[in-house]
Structure 1
Amino acid sequence: MLAGALLILLSLVRVIDDANDVTSSGTVSAALRLAVPIFLAGLGGLWAERSGIINIGLEGMMILGTWTGAWAGYQWGPWIGVLAGILGGALGGLLHAVATVSFGVDHIVSGVAINILGLGLTQFLAGLIFNTGEAKALGGGPRQSPPVDPITTLTLPVLSGGEIGGWKSPDWLGSLEKQHWFLLSDVAGVLRGLTAGMSLLTLVALLLVPLSFFVLWKTAFGLRIRSCGEDPYASESLGVNVYRMKYAAVIISGGFSGLAGAFLVTVAAPLYQDGQTGGRGFIGLAAMIFGNWRPGGLLAGSMLFGYTDAMNARGGGESVHALLLFVAVILAAVAVWQVVRASRIRPMVTTDLDRRTLRNAYIGIVISVLAALGLFVWFLNSEVVPGELVSFTPHLTTLLVLALASQRLRMPAANGLRYRRGEAR
């Protein structure tokens, strides 16, 4: 229902501002492509933190995945590159597990060290391997690998076009999208963006959402991992090998981050390049927090960041202008919700904690109203958003989401705490 309401609002904003790129299939397709590596990195962070290990090293593990994925991919094909990328990230996860689980190193220190190690090691290996011999002859260099063959893409015939054996399929969704009708064309644009030219690896990544939820919340293995993140000593008293569970979760975390890196060199771009991850590991952490340490919320947060990044990549100054009205309406709705929430809390205020909660609700109302009015005035007095602000949009979105979502978040209780078998609590 919430997704449907947001789509209706987006459609209304598109019609008012004549910004057809807001829900176009090209924007949706770009958003999905940009969101997948963020989502995979965030999924890696989710697995680690559900076991009680903070994984700041997602960025470094992604970097290891890009290099190993490209190194294997240009020689033996993209799918071997994907497997190699997973292995490269898993090795980074193993190193993080050894440091934090076995030796009790501070999680933040270990993660930062892995980020530095991943960056330095891949730069050294790129100059050593990609800049010599056959790799150099194929187009490699000190800062990039030879090209990697792309992974096969899927397009649904009839609905989204494409060709089958020389037969050019109709494109019903594309035709409906071009009509620019209210809501119908927007739904067609979104569906076409999800069904035209989708990489097989993107489909695999999307399937990891229900798979991760099933494993973590519906199996004994997932229950043991989550119990280690909530109370490892209680888990130990019930016979759970806490060290083993933490090792497994952090290695899986590294594997997901390596898969995110492999996605960058096989789908997003057909080769490894220095600095390719661009901080996506850290944005993945932000998406994980926004999703309240759950796969579904993580996917929603990743799509949000991917969407704003896609608007930036497509040069959507006019489209971002339309989003000013979209965000203003959402903030107004948030203010209304805060008023209702405050009216429910007020009769039950008895303690200092209740008074602080009520005060925070009033502060949220004031901030939401002022921000909504400011964006609405900006929308009325401008026609396009400057390109510099469009470039900053993904980062601004990250800050706003974390600020607005902070009150409803609850991380695992033992997250980041040092565990030693047999010690008293």
Structure 2
Amino acid sequence: MNPPASVTRAAAPVKRRIPGWANGVLWTLAAIVLLTATADLTGLPNITATSTIQAGLQLAVPLLLAGLGGLWAERAGVVNIGLEGMMILGTWGAAWAGYQWGPWAAVLGGIVFGALGGLLHALATVTFGVNHIVSGVAINLLGAGVAKYLSTLLFAPVSHNPRQSPKVPSFDTYSAQPVADWLADLEKQQRYVVSDIAGIFHGLLSGVSPLTMITILLVPISFVVLWHTRFGLRLRSCGENPVAAESLGVNVYLQKYIAVVISGGFAGLGGAALVLAPGQNGYLENQTNGRGYIGLAAMIFGNWRPGGLLGGAALFGYADGLQTLTDGKTVLGLFYGVSLLVWVIALVQLIRRKWIVGLVSIVVGGALYLLYLSIDSLPQELTTYLPHIVTIVVLAMSSQRLRMPAADGLIYRRGQGS
């Protein structure tokens, strides 16, 4: 005689899923351990130095904003390859407004010009049904051309250089005192492990601008709005099944327009972050340098989720900051750290009895370790493209677990399901 269904259900083991925030904390701790171990075992303190962490945080901000822009658009079913062009428009708008009225005006100018690019993309893809990739590429070309024309028209008479704007006032920066000073003292003492951890946290808690604080807050705000409000549910339904959403009374066109305009605003704000960054203080031609595409890659790496996007932006921003401030020897030290990480992954896969993946990981880790031992320093020509190389490698490694919105990139016409 078979046991009752209730008994069977009670006997079945319950598989509990780790909460998203706890998963994020674990990954953060793992990253700190990896960086600290790499810095100590290679004797390269620049890996965890305050200056490197600060530069990585500063460079992660525009990537994070561009990624948030892509997240909002693609959750509504619109692929936004045009983030780069919207960022370019944002850099010009921020420089034009900031030069005249200060840094907060620069923030508003960047948002407005980026949103205009988003509105144009929405008009093409939602109303006229243009292929999303074609429209995005056109936005990128148009953004670069418009910014160059406006710069020549308005900035050249003032700065005497058509490729850049006059200096734009930037935000003051703030530190978490007295914790920041205490961490700085610990870092200077050069204690084993302790000073490396202190350098990481000192870089995160000192010299932070208001725009950086706002950007970090936008991550949980986006999560709450998109996953815990009726508006967010309607918007995401348009990216999963717009026909079903319309049958339930959702104005699919309106939701897509709102999402893409917000997406452009985020990308434009990312452009403003570049203009207001310390050491920049103005518009410069080709200032974005492909960061719109890297932001989109960070969003894909994060599996179209805000928390994962934050991790991707931090990774790519750190790689960018490392190659900017350090030499090829320090960058080469990361190969040692990555080899350790790959061997840990190999061990986990072997424990799970995934023999092929485990053995391949052992070989890859060994190859990276041999590369670290065989050369003294990476050439400058290679370290310059470190963020782009990291982007490609990370996306290749994470491609197996990705799940994009079901209707992302599909052309939708009103009344399609009737």
TM-score, length of structure 2 as denominator length: 0.91
Q: Does 1:295 align with 2:306?
A: yes
Candidates 51, 54, 62, aligned match of 1:37: 62
1:94 corresponds in structure 2 to 119
Q: Does 1:402 align with 2:395?
A: yes
Q: CA RMSD in A?
A: 1.5
1:332 corresponds in structure 2 to 343
Q: Does 1:156 align with 2:176?
A: yes
* 1:42 alignment partner AA: G
User: C-alpha distance in 1, partners of 2:56/2:218?
Assistant: 18
Quickly say closer, same or farther: Cα 1:233–1:195, change in 2 above 3 A.
same
Alignment of 1:266-281 (within 5 A): 266-268=276-278, 269-281=280-292
Q: Secondary structure at the match of 1:405?
A: helix
User: C-alpha distance in 2, partners of 1:103/1:385?
Assistant: 49
1:366 is displaced (CA, Å) by 4.2
1:238 corresponds in structure 2 to 248
User: C-alpha distance in 2, partners of 1:10/1:261?
Assistant: 29
1:315 corresponds in structure 2 to 326
Candidates 193, 196, 203, aligned match of 2:213: 203
User: C-alpha distance in 1, partners of 2:160/2:349?
Assistant: 56
Q: Deviations over 1:13-47 (max 9, x none)?
A: 21121100111111100000011101101110010
Q: Does 1:248 align with 2:273?
A: no
User: C-alpha distance in 2, partners of 1:401/1:313?
Assistant: 20
* 1:410 alignment partner AA: R
* 1:189 alignment partner AA: G
1:413 corresponds in structure 2 to 406
Alignment of 1:44-123 (within 5 A): 44-123=69-148
User: C-alpha distance in 2, partners of 1:240/1:143?
Assistant: 45
Percentage of pairs with the same residue: 54
1:365 corresponds in structure 2 to 358
1:131 corresponds in structure 2 to 156
User: C-alpha distance in 1, partners of 2:211/2:276?
Assistant: 9
Q: Secondary structure at the match of 2:407?
A: coil
CA contact (8 A) 2:223 2:306 kept: yes
Candidates 172, 184, 194, aligned match of 2:182: 172
Q: Deviations over 1:350-404 (max 9, x none)?
A: xxxxxxxxxxx72x43432222111111222333333233223212111110000
User: C-alpha distance in 2, partners of 1:13/1:91?
Assistant: 45
User: C-alpha distance in 2, partners of 1:254/1:367?
Assistant: 41
1:188 corresponds in structure 2 to 198
User: C-alpha distance in 2, partners of 1:297/1:52?
Assistant: 19
User: C-alpha distance in 2, partners of 1:180/1:3?
Assistant: 23
User: C-alpha distance in 1, partners of 2:400/2:102?
Assistant: 46
2:43 corresponds in structure 1 to 18
CA contact (8 A) 1:11 1:182 kept: no
1:185 is displaced (CA, Å) by 1.4
* 1:148 alignment partner AA: V
User: C-alpha distance in 1, partners of 2:55/2:329?
Assistant: 17
CA contact (8 A) 1:42 1:298 kept: yes
* 2:358 alignment partner AA: I
CA contact (8 A) 1:293 1:411 kept: yes
CA contact (8 A) 1:317 1:390 kept: yes
CA contact (8 A) 2:34 2:341 kept: no
Q: Secondary structure at the match of 1:413?
A: coil
Q: Secondary structure at the match of 2:257?
A: helix
Structure 2: stretches of 5+ with no match in the other structure: 1-25
User: C-alpha distance in 2, partners of 1:422/1:78?
Assistant: 45
1:342 is displaced (CA, Å) by 4.5
Q: Secondary structure at the match of 2:277?
A: helix
Alignment of 1:212-231 (within 5 A): 212-231=222-241
User: C-alpha distance in 2, partners of 1:80/1:140?
Assistant: 23
CA contact (8 A) 1:311 1:390 kept: no
User: C-alpha distance in 2, partners of 1:183/1:212?
Assistant: 35
User: C-alpha distance in 2, partners of 1:41/1:105?
Assistant: 22
1:353 corresponds in structure 2 to none
2:13 corresponds in structure 1 to none
CA contact (8 A) 2:40 2:193 kept: no
1:384 corresponds in structure 2 to 377
Q: Secondary structure at the match of 1:198?
A: coil
User: C-alpha distance in 1, partners of 2:284/2:361?
Assistant: 41
1:140 is displaced (CA, Å) by 4.8
CA contact (8 A) 1:52 1:230 kept: yes
User: C-alpha distance in 2, partners of 1:406/1:108?
Assistant: 20
CA contact (8 A) 1:8 1:183 kept: no
Q: Deviations over 1:239-288 (max 9, x none)?
A: 11111100000000000000001111112510101111101000111111
1:53 is displaced (CA, Å) by 0.1
CA contact (8 A) 2:234 2:255 kept: yes
CA contact (8 A) 2:63 2:295 kept: yes
Candidates 406, 419, 424, aligned match of 2:417: 424
Q: Secondary structure at the match of 1:49?
A: helix
CA contact (8 A) 1:49 1:412 kept: yes
Q: Secondary structure at the match of 2:384?
A: helix
CA contact (8 A) 1:21 1:316 kept: no
CA contact (8 A) 1:315 1:387 kept: no
CA contact (8 A) 2:169 2:281 kept: yes
Structure 1: stretches of 5+ with no match in the other structure: 161-170, 344-360
TM-score, length of structure 1 as denominator length: 0.89
* 2:376 alignment partner AA: E
